[in-house]
Chains A and B, each alone.
Chain A
Amino acid sequence: MSLLVHLALIGYAAAAAVFSVWLIRPRAALPLVGRVLLLAGLCAHLGSLAGAWHGRQVLSLLVAATVAGYLALDWLYRLPVAGAFVAPIVVAAMVPAHLISSAAHPAGARSAALTVHVVSSTLGTAALALAFGLALVYLGGERQLKGKHPGRLSARLPSLDAIDRIGWKLVAWGFVLLSAAIATGRLVSPFALGPKQGFALAAWALLALLVQARLVAGWRGRRAALLVVGGFALLAGSLVALLASRGVAPAGGA
């Protein structure tokens, strides 16, 4: 891993620590410190990607997109509490993202379909990672309010309704992007059908169910959050399958 990647990782890890401390001790300055650290980490991260981009850095790009997505959401809705959930996920994803070996590329790697596939799957997964973080926040807050013990978590949360609405927007975008990724994936490698594709399809089906249920029957709240958690878990399975298929070894250069 390059120096910039190391700096990005340090920035993300420090932000995760700061957001976690803020959950316990709500000092007003901490969310700002967390945001600055995340932004600094993101700059270093993007710098590393721009300096030596190659196709196998998809997972790393996904992490950067997730961080950028979170910072955008935080700027729009003031969601520091989500930072406490998203930042550790980002840190956990960074290490495997930079250990992917330069295994074989699918045929037509430079084709437009592949570009669309990479971009849409990266952005879609990032959106769903954020929706997953918000779903966890929602479930924690809902548990406290239903249990009649609103504690530190719910004191720092926006309303459950707001979390639900933001999560729904992310799911809707994530679903559209994932649909595009799956469609273009068939073009990139028409005959591939392995665990990666299986997990991705299962996640897509679950999200399709959620989108359908939300639009038709108005599903929201707890059951929607649980479906998002399930959907993201399947998507994570798809990523793990991707890592496994490429072998885990230092990628270098990034």
Chain B
Amino acid sequence: MAPTFVDVGLSHKQAPIAVRERLAVPKDELPARLDALRSIAGVREAMLVSTCNRIEIFAVAEGANAGAELAASLGPLASPHAVVRNGDEAVRHLFRVAASLDSMVIGEAQILGQVKEAAALAKSTGAAGPLLDRALSRAVAAARRVRTETAIGRGAVSLSSVAVELARKVLGDLAGRTALLIGAGEMATLAARELQGAGVRELLVANRSMAHAAELARQIGGVAVSLQDLPALLERADVAVTSTGSIEPVVTRAMMAQAVKARRFRPVFLIDLAVPRNVEPSANEVENVYVYDLDDLERVAAQNRDLRGGELGRAEAIVEEELRTFLAAQRERSGVPVLARLRQRAQSIAEGEVERALATLGPLSDRQAKSVRAMAAAIVNKLLHAPTQRLRDEAGGPLGTAAAELFDLREDDGARERAG
């Protein structure tokens, strides 16, 4: 069976954050996971995209069980939620993911960078090969077209901006307020910029590494503070954004209950951008404490999608167009070997028969022998003219497979015949 594209994964659409946070693969574990994927029978190429909102394996595999085995590699927790896509559907999904059409906030730019990063890692570790590489190049091109030719990215609100808007619903004008960033990663930086834009007076940056906290504080004009002072910091902060890589909650319900009391019940808005979550979900039950995690923000962001329905349609059309181009090229590429093998087989048979006939006919002049060879070649050409045309027209389609079956064409035919 010819290798085909397979996608196995789950996103915010299939699994709640409580599941996703347990499936997320830390960066330092990605190379080992890619090795494990490659060791699955039938898997030729693989890449793994693990973000806060999704975990996806894009692979090139052969064999009917490859999809199921890739799904099993995500573990039993993922089984009820994981979706397996094969062939064109898998490629379509890759294109849609890269173009941010499958994102929590449609049109957000972050996902393209994450896909490219995952592809680069897969390539550097040897997990990705030419097929995935070609698909990714086209997917990235499609995503760029979507960004430049539609306004989908322009109206797109990042999760950070959704969160800041919600904070305004609770706290009102953020000018003069104090914000606390817990974690100094990319998400924290984005959130910090949003908060600055909203007029926050004081930005405190707390991180496990003081050096990272100081660096981010320097970039955004904030103040680096020690994570050890978290309870006191929570008393000061009107808005807190968490985005650490901690697998245990950093902010607990008890901490928030104490902080709110110390704040004389002034409201606090907590934005939890981390997966696994950094804020104990039950902290939302504390009076005047509002906790929004990624799933909650998605619900709010979803309201924006309808507004951009027209742009979404145009973006989908671009992705489909790029997908068709890619699949056609791919089919032509995969169809050519069948054609080549068919012609090689026919020519090999014709040449064998011509030599046998020439031996039987006895000595012929060079001109006569040349005529016989030309006649045999003409018969092959005329016989194969229509099939060649059809196979080219429907490259990669079922005809190629049928021809390969009908004429018993195997991929190693060329090598076998060359050796023979």
Q: Are B171 and A159 in contact (CB under 8 A)?
A: yes
B170 is contacted by which of A149, A161, A222, A223 (Cβ under 8 Å)?
A: A161
Within 8 A of A (CB), among B228-267: 263-267
Q: Are A221 and B166 in contact (CB under 8 A)?
A: no
Q: Are A150 and B267 in contact (CB under 8 A)?
A: no
Q: Are A217 and B264 in contact (CB under 8 A)?
A: yes
Query: From A154, which residue of chain B is reached at the shortest CB distance?
Result: B169
In the assembled complex, the Cα of A217 lies from the Cα of B264 at a distance in Å of 6
In the assembled complex, the Cα of A158 lies from the Cα of B191 at a distance in Å of 23
Query: From B289, which residue of chain A is reached at the shortest CB distance?
Result: A146
Query: From B263, which residue of chain A is reached at the shortest CB distance?
Result: A218
Min CB–CB distance A148 → chain B (angstroms): 4
Q: Are A149 and B288 in contact (CB under 8 A)?
A: no
Q: Are B299 and A221 in contact (CB under 8 A)?
A: no
**Number of A interface residues, CB 8 Å?**
20
Q: Is B408 an interface residue, CB under 8 A from the partner?
A: no
In the assembled complex, the Cα of A141 lies from the Cα of B266 at a distance in Å of 16
Q: Is A160 an interface residue, CB under 8 A from the partner?
A: yes
**Residues A146 and B284 in contact in the complex (CB < 8 Å), given A157-B169, A159-B168:** yes
Query: From A164, which residue of chain B is reached at the shortest CB distance?
Result: B267
Q: Is A32 an interface residue, CB under 8 A from the partner?
A: no
Interface range on chain B: under 10, 10 to 19, 20 to 34, or 35 or more?
Answer: 20 to 34
In the assembled complex, the Cα of A47 lies from the Cα of B89 at a distance in Å of 73
Within 8 A of A (CB), among B268-324: 284, 287-288, 290, 292, 296, 299-300
In the assembled complex, the Cα of A158 lies from the Cα of B267 at a distance in Å of 15
Q: Are A219 and B265 in contact (CB under 8 A)?
A: yes
- Encoded as 1 (CB less than 8 Å from any B CB) or 0, chain A from 123 to 149 comes to 000000000000000000100011011
Q: Is A162 an interface residue, CB under 8 A from the partner?
A: yes
Q: Is B172 an interface residue, CB under 8 A from the partner?
A: yes
**Residues A220 and B288 in contact in the complex (CB < 8 Å), given A148-B296, A148-B299, A160-B267:** yes
Q: Are B172 and A221 in contact (CB under 8 A)?
A: no
In the assembled complex, the Cα of A221 lies from the Cα of B170 at a distance in Å of 10
> Which A residues touch B299, using CB under 8 A?
148-149
A221 is contacted by which of B168, B265, B284, B292 (Cβ under 8 Å)?
A: B265
**Residues A218 and B170 in contact in the complex (CB < 8 Å), given A146-B290, A148-B292, A149-B299:** no
Min CB–CB distance A157 → chain B (angstroms): 7
> Which A residues touch B168, using CB under 8 A?
159
Q: Are A222 and B287 in contact (CB under 8 A)?
A: yes
Please indicate which of the listed interface residues A141, A161, A222 has the most CB atoms of chain B within 10 Å of its own CB.
Answer: A161
Q: Are B292 and A159 in contact (CB under 8 A)?
A: no
Min CB–CB distance A9 → chain B (angstroms): 35
> Which A residues touch B284, using CB under 8 A?
146
Q: Are A222 and B290 in contact (CB under 8 A)?
A: no
> Which A residues touch B296, using CB under 8 A?
148
**Residues A162 and B172 in contact in the complex (CB < 8 Å), given A146-B284, A220-B288, A221-B265:** yes
Min CB–CB distance A223 → chain B (angstroms): 7
Query: From B284, which residue of chain A is reached at the shortest CB distance?
Result: A146
In the assembled complex, the Cα of A52 lies from the Cα of B314 at a distance in Å of 68
Min CB–CB distance B179 → chain A (angstroms): 15
Q: Are A221 and B169 in contact (CB under 8 A)?
A: no
Q: Are B290 and A159 in contact (CB under 8 A)?
A: no
Min CB–CB distance B279 → chain A (angstroms): 13
Q: Are B290 and A158 in contact (CB under 8 A)?
A: no
Q: Are A150 and B300 in contact (CB under 8 A)?
A: yes
Min CB–CB distance A147 → chain B (angstroms): 9
Q: Are B287 and A223 in contact (CB under 8 A)?
A: yes
Q: Are B266 and A218 in contact (CB under 8 A)?
A: yes
Q: Are A158 and B172 in contact (CB under 8 A)?
A: yes
Q: Are A218 and B172 in contact (CB under 8 A)?
A: no
In the assembled complex, the Cα of A242 lies from the Cα of B173 at a distance in Å of 43
Q: Are B166 and A150 in contact (CB under 8 A)?
A: yes
Q: Are A145 and B172 in contact (CB under 8 A)?
A: no
Q: Are B170 and A220 in contact (CB under 8 A)?
A: no
Please indicate which of the listed interface residues B173, B267, B290, B292 has the most CB atoms of chain A within 10 Å of its own CB.
Answer: B267
Q: Are A218 and B166 in contact (CB under 8 A)?
A: no
> Which B residues touch A148, using CB under 8 A?
292, 296, 299
Q: Are B264 and A221 in contact (CB under 8 A)?
A: no
> Which A residues touch B171, using CB under 8 A?
159-161
In the assembled complex, the Cα of A220 lies from the Cα of B290 at a distance in Å of 15
Min CB–CB distance B273 → chain A (angstroms): 15
> Which B residues touch A154, using CB under 8 A?
169
In the assembled complex, the Cα of A219 lies from the Cα of B288 at a distance in Å of 10
In the assembled complex, the Cα of A222 lies from the Cα of B289 at a distance in Å of 11
Min CB–CB distance B318 → chain A (angstroms): 32
> Which B residues touch A157, using CB under 8 A?
169
Q: Are B172 and A161 in contact (CB under 8 A)?
A: yes
Within 8 A of A (CB), among B338-368: none
**Residues A160 and B265 in contact in the complex (CB < 8 Å), given A146-B284, A146-B290:** no
In the assembled complex, the Cα of A224 lies from the Cα of B19 at a distance in Å of 37
Min CB–CB distance A152 → chain B (angstroms): 11
A220 is contacted by which of B166, B169, B265, B300 (Cβ under 8 Å)?
A: B265
Min CB–CB distance A158 → chain B (angstroms): 7
Query: From B295, which residue of chain A is reached at the shortest CB distance?
Result: A148
Q: Are B266 and A145 in contact (CB under 8 A)?
A: no
Q: Are A222 and B288 in contact (CB under 8 A)?
A: yes
Q: What would 15 more interface pairs be, CB under 8 Å, given A149-B299, A218-B264?
A: A141-B169, A145-B166, A145-B169, A145-B290, A150-B169, A157-B169, A159-B168, A159-B169, A159-B172, A160-B169, A218-B265, A218-B266, A220-B265, A220-B266, A222-B287
Interface pairs (15), CB distance under 8 Å:
A145-B166, A146-B290, A149-B299, A150-B166, A150-B300, A159-B168, A159-B169, A159-B171, A160-B170, A161-B267, A219-B265, A220-B288, A221-B267, A221-B287, A222-B287
Q: Which residues from chain A sit less than 8 Å from chain B, CB to CB?
A: 141, 145-146, 148-150, 154, 157-162, 217-223
Nearest first, the 4 closest Cβ-Cβ pairs linking A and B are: A218-B264, A159-B172, A148-B296, A221-B288
